[in-house]
A and B are shown apart, each in its own frame.
Chain A
Amino acid sequence: MTFLNAVMALGAAAFVVPLAIHLLFRSRYRSLDWGAMFLLQDVMRVNRRRMQWHQWVLLAIRCAIPILLALAMARPLISSVQSVAGEQPVSWVLLIDDSRSMSAGNRSTRAIAGMTRLLDSMSHGDEVMIIPSSRLAAPVSIGSADDARSRLRQMRFDSSRMNFTAAVQSAVQACRQASHPFRRIVVVSDFQENVLGESNASRREEVYGSGASLLTELDSISDRLGRIDPTPQVDFLDVGLSTDEPDVETGLANVLVKSIRIDPPAVLVDQTVTVVATIQNDSDVPVSGVRASWLVGNRVMETEVVSIDPRGTSELAWRTSFSKPGGTSVGLAVEHTDALMADNRRMRALQVRRPVHVWLVDGDWSDEPLQSETDFLKVALSPFAFGAIDAGERQSTRRQRAIRRGTPIVRGDGRSVVDREVSHRRDLVAAKVIRPGEFVSLWQRVLDSGRQDVGATGQENVGDAESNDEEFPELIVFANVKSPPGTRRSESPAAKDGSVEGTGVLGRYLAMGGRVLFFDGDNVDAEAWNSEGFLPARLDEVVGSPQETKPMRIEPPGARVNAWRLLGGEQDSLFDTVRVFRYRSIKLGEASEASEASGTSGTSGGASTVMLRSQSGQPLVVSGWNRFTGGTTQDALAHGGIRRVGVVQFALPCDTAWSNLPLRPVFLPMVQQLVLDLLASDQQPTVRPGTAMVVFPDARFRTGSGDWEWEVSRPDGKTQAIVGNSSSSLVYGDTHRVGAYRFVANRLDDSEAERDRGTGAQVRVVEVEASESVLRRANEDRLDECEERLGARRYQDAEALIGAVRRDRFGTEVWRPLLWLLLVMLAAEVLWQQFGVTRSVGRVSRVGPEAAS
């Protein structure tokens, strides 16, 4: 024990004063002649020992009073709890949860104020590392308390939920970079329900194996902490508990825009789409008369009033259309004052397209109707065009032209209307049928054209593309084609596992962002296609015959394939009527087989995914995605989860030779959904804060060469210019601010006029997930368990944390309990004297003089 004011401890010697007084008064008394001595002696004989004991207690109390007073004024420190040498510098790792929920109420204010007070209490030699939970991958900067203070001032609390274990792991990792041997980790968070949830269980299982839980992960982190000597102390500063927040159990009252979706997901120019927003009332009181505004970009387009029941949701739908191609954002903003204002607005990015150009490479050409290999497919891809041609015999030429162009038709009564029905029925796809022999020359013309005049007037959806031969095809369908056209064989190892590197024309096409749809058939040379190597599965023997008496059935894809989930589940599948008489046996790669065996084919990390299979388990449709070279893209894929599907392989033909699939009602929606899925696979409607965005250049850059520049407009109003090359996409990582990011690509050697002809911007929206807006605290038992696993201590306010830090560094100051003890002693002295020694005085005085009077 040490004293802060050691001199004051000498005052303890004052205890001799009451002792001396006691002894002095013990020897001083007056004498009195007394008659009733025998009564007095009886009393003394019985009570002598007790009276002496009372006297000694009184003397002890009186001696203790000056001793306690002196000790309290000397401010003693108990150093037995000291875990850090007081003068040793400490490395601090401040892990701050900057998720959106921290901006609810006064949590962020408390967090920053608490951290500032903690920084103020630090010693000069201490170093500080601040890790925001949204920037765990960023390099950790080590600085002084002043540096940390300035970083704290710049912090914004509008990110995704904190991944607790990843954040603590980052903090532990940062401890290894610390300069000082003594380290301390402070986790500042509101400890929401989703912080300690099991939401990332799949990733955990990948790392720690099957059955791993959050606690298992914490145990592992604890082991790593234990391997650091001396072991860093972990502290939790819980800013989620506050007297300002009325109901901790049910959470704060909040209204949020939960989601925005667009129906249909692929939006064409002038096509009416429905934007559906879900608003949630996360409170116990009804919300009524709330103004909700539909936004396109930052412009308010329409406003309506909505009412929501307690703990209920409400869906708002808005029908609109977009006249220009390019990227934009739509969303909904709710005007309501609640605990978390940031989630009252939610946006979603969308890409307004012109019709997609598709090449149908027909390996079995015929002039007869529905005899060509791709006739059924063409109808399925462009059903309205087919219908328009069919109906054209009954319509005027003017109307047909109007239909094709989507222009208004003025009726005889003077009402100017647009035939919306017709304009809504615009096909997504503009298909062009070519023969295999024409492919190379056409492709060469596309390449030679260098850049396409994609800024010209939008294509009319007429089912052919004769006037646009040089248009870059976004999808090429090979139907019963004998061998890959215009390709040279490549024996490189990469080709065997599906890579597009060095695989000739198709390889370059895929590298440019193109997609391939492969249909099998009798003309297909399996060896030739296998040797090319970009198909997701190897082609094997053809099984069955057209006279098969027991045709094969197709297993409903259900929820396994997102694009086809609406085509039916186990009970009411549209595939039930499909009969397959022949099919090609295809072999998946090893990785794909493993994922297939584990039952996670739809989400596996392998090169291919089984989308459709027979009831006997034979894969019938397999998809594979491109593998991008370059670390940044790999990282982007890893963080964003983008899987850009490049090739979809059917083990069936697209005519009726091997099955009745093209004749069944399921064929059209199946093909439509598949194409939509293929085209939208490179889109990121919304990304989470801190997640990298992948932006692909539009078609005119895919075929050109030379450098180009990305112009990025950020939500904070700043603009960035990024130079890229001709063959790769842009991976943009600075996405910590919520809002719409606008990407415009320009070739560096373009003139201003050519730049203006671009297809417009691509837009990505950064949004925080809706679960972050559910302001409920984590279960206390779970939180306690986490504390226990990490050996952490939790504090409700910064003062308690600072006190604990001081205790650990300098010991416990115990003057306060001593002062309390002193007060207790003073009270005890009075009470002992009044009631302990003469406890019957009141009764006696009542009996004596008062009775006598």
Chain B
Amino acid sequence: MRLADLFRARDVSRIESLRLIARGAVEGLSAGRHRSAKKGSSVEFKEHRPYVPGDEVRNIDWKAFGKSDRLYIREFEEETNLRCMILVDQSGSMAYAGERALPLASTDSKPDPNGNRTDKGTDKKRKSAADGSKASPPSWWKGTKQEFACGLAASLSYLLLSNQDSVGVMTFDARIREYVPPRMLPSHLNTILGSLAIESRGGETDLGLVLRHSLSKLPRRGLVVLVSDGLGDVESLGRSLTLLRAERQDVIFLQVLDPDELDFPFDDRIEFRDLESDGRREVVDARQVRSRYVEAMQRHNATIAAACRRSRVDHLILTTDLPLVDALARFVAMRQAGPVSGSLSGSGQQAVPPDALGGAVKGVSS
């Protein structure tokens, strides 16, 4: 997999221009744009402290000595680079591909002044988006949530590497499959893309359990980006998020869902086969269960949002009918404005009220 397979050139340049800043202090190995937990030399003055023997003489503020006849040492903020680990869910449920999913490279459909996209419709949207790109989607493209998650991880990696930050990737299903430790070399992107391209075997996953297992491999005081559909045990996920926060990790949970999973737009009798287990299947009249399914989905998302809010985790629901680069840009902008909670979906790329998609997900954690 190459980045050029995923994005067009102008998408890449848009990604390059984005800056993802860690919300808290992080620990890096080199100087960077992120606030470090340590004090060091930089242009950002922090405070004065009384001189004690052993301090370097060059750090004495002689102007202050001249005014007060006392020796003070000048201290500065140390800035360091970001160490980010992207956790990508490759469980069976991520293999669902709805008809409304857009190819990753389609960014031609631009929002109108009101923020609404001009191309509408579900079935036709995919085609028109593909046509709008003036290039057919790659042959391997199926429109699954997993492809969307990989694209998201790739774009984030590129974004971070472009900003001289270290980035690593960990893929998992029932257990951790691939682990690429954080590096800041530009060539590291190929390693990441390679690991993302490795096809998963699917299967059932326990997101919380995998997060707990991954703790030992995560860098201290770094940024953890979790890309998953969140379809699993929410309580376990909540506990794991709490653990991550306890390790002083800055956590972002990007929940990737297909629009079909939100509004259940089916009418006929359908045999639903479980993507995570071969044996489970259910023949239902979709019209009969639609309302109750949607209610269940809303409750589920609301529970996830509540868990994230408790753990002060940025949580954003992204649907696969969303142009990925646009979504990434919006997310970065939202994060710069403050804590993120809500959802971006479909043609509007609006941060819709969390109630609409996730029920109780609202507000800002800080």
Q: Are the chains A and B members of one assembly?
A: yes
- Do A38 and B231 have beta carbons less than 8 Å apart? yes
Q: How many residues of B contact A (CB 8 A)?
A: 58
CA distance A89 to B308 in the complex (A): 91
Q: Chain B residue with minimal CB distance to A54? A: B288
Please determine whether A35 and B275 come into contact, CB atoms closer than 8 angstroms.
yes
Interface check B246, CB cutoff 8 A: no
Task: Give the residues from 29 to 58 in chain A that come closer than 8 angstroms, CB to CB, to chain B.
Answer: 29-44, 46-47, 51, 54-55
| In the complex, A853 has a CB within 8 A of chain B | yes
Given A47-B292, A843-B291, verify A36-B261 contact (CB < 8 Å): yes
Check B198 for interface membership: any CB of A closer than 8 A.
Answer: no
* Stretch of A400-408, A495-503, A834-842 lying at the B interface: A834-842
B282–A47 touching, CB < 8 Å? no
B291 contacts A33, CB within 8 Å?
A: no
* CB 8 Å contact bits of B273-304 with A (1 = contact, 0 = none): 11111001111110111111111111010000
How far is B283's CA from A40's CA once the two chains are assembled, in angstroms?
A: 10
Q: Provide the bound-state CA to CA distance between A527 and B87, in Å.
A: 152
B282→A41 contact, CB < 8 A: yes
- Name the residue of chain B whose CB is nearest to the CB of A50: B288
Given that A36-B93, A852-B259 are contacting pairs, would A837 and B271 also be in contact in the complex, using a CB cutoff of 8 Å?
A: no
Check if B229 sits within 8 Å of A51, measured CB to CB.
no
Closest chain-A Cβ to B149's Cβ sits at a distance in Å of: 12
Given A31-B271, A32-B272, does the pair A849, B288 have CB atoms closer than 8 Å? no
Whether A844 contacts B294 by the Cβ 8 Å rule is yes
Q: Mark B205-248, 1 if CB is under 8 A from A, else 0.
A: 00000000000000000000000010110000000000000000
> Does B120 sit within 8 A of A, measured CB to CB?
yes
Q: How far is the CA of A853 from the CA of B272 in the complex (A)?
A: 26
B167 at the interface (CB under 8 A from A): no
Which residue on chain B has the smallest CB distance to residue A840? Answer: B291
Q: Is the CB of B269 within 8 A of A40?
A: no
Q: Contacts A33-B96, A41-B280 hold; do A844 and B263 have CB atoms under 8 A apart?
A: yes
- The digit string for B34-58, where 1 denotes a CB below 8 A from any CB of A, is 0000000000000000000000000
Query: Do the beta carbons of B273 and A51 come within 8 Å of each other?
Result: no
- Distance of B87 from chain A, by nearest CB (Å): 18
From 799 to 853 in chain A, residues with beta carbon under 8 angstroms from any chain B beta carbon are: 837-841, 843-845, 847-849, 851-853
Q: Which residues of B contact A55 (CB under 8 A)?
A: 285
Chain B residues whose C-beta falls within 8 Å of the C-beta of A853 in the assembled complex: 116, 120, 346-348
Q: Is the CB of A34 within 8 A of B272?
A: yes
B145: Cβ under 8 A from any A Cβ: yes
New contact pairs (20) apart from A30-B268, A33-B95, A849-B265, CB-CB < 8 Å: A31-B270, A32-B270, A35-B231, A35-B258, A35-B261, A36-B231, A37-B93, A37-B272, A37-B280, A37-B282, A39-B231, A43-B289, A838-B288, A840-B294, A843-B291, A844-B290, A844-B294, A849-B263, A849-B346, A853-B116
Give the distance in Å from the alpha carbon of A42 to the alpha carbon of B297 in the complex: 11
Cβ of A28 < 8 Å from any Cβ of B? yes
A466-499 residues at the B interface, CB under 8 angstroms? none
Point out the residues of chain A lying under 8 angstroms from B275, CB to CB. 33-35, 37
Instruction: Compute how far the CA of A25 lies from the CA of B268 in the bound complex, rounded to whole angstroms.
Output: 9
Q: Interface 1/0s, chain A 2-38, versus B by CB < 8 A? A: 0000000000000000000000011011111111111
Q: Does B184 contact A (CB under 8 A)?
A: no
Q: Within 8 Å CB of B155, what residues of A?
A: none
In the docked arrangement, what's the CA distance between A551 and B274, Å?
132
9 examples of A-B residue contacts, CB within 8 angstroms: A31-B271, A32-B272, A35-B96, A36-B93, A40-B272, A43-B296, A838-B290, A844-B263, A851-B352
**At the interface, is chain B mostly helix, strand, loop or mixed?**
mixed
Q: Chain A's nearest CB lies how many Å from the CB of B196?
A: 19
B171 within 8 A of A: no
Binary CB contact string for chain A from 391 to 418 against chain B (1 if under 8 A, 0 otherwise): 0000000000000000000000000000
Are A852 and B282 in contact (CB-based, < 8 A)?
no
CB distance from B351 to the nearest CB of A (A): 12
B92, B94, B122, B291: which has the most chain A beta carbons within 10 Å? B291
Q: Is the CB of B231 within 8 A of A848?
A: no
- Find out whether the CB atom of B357 lies under 8 angstroms from the CB atom of A851: yes
Contact A844 B264 (CB under 8 A): yes
- Chain A, residue nearest B277 (CB): A37
Asked if B311 is an interface residue, CB under 8 A from chain A, the answer is no
Q: How far is A844 from B265 in the complex, measured between Cα atoms in Å?
A: 10
CB-CB under 8 A from B145, the residues of chain A are: 35
Asked whether B319 is an interface residue with its Cβ less than 8 Å from the other chain, the reply is yes
Question: For residue B135, which residues in chain A have a CB less than 8 angstroms away from its CB?
Answer: none
Q: Which of A656-670 contact B (CB under 8 A)?
A: none
Given contact pairs A34-B275, A43-B293, A839-B291, A26 touches B96 in the complex (Cβ within 8 A)? no
Partner of B269, one of A25, A38, A43, A848: A25
Distance from A769 Cβ to chain B, minimum over Cβ atoms (Å):
78
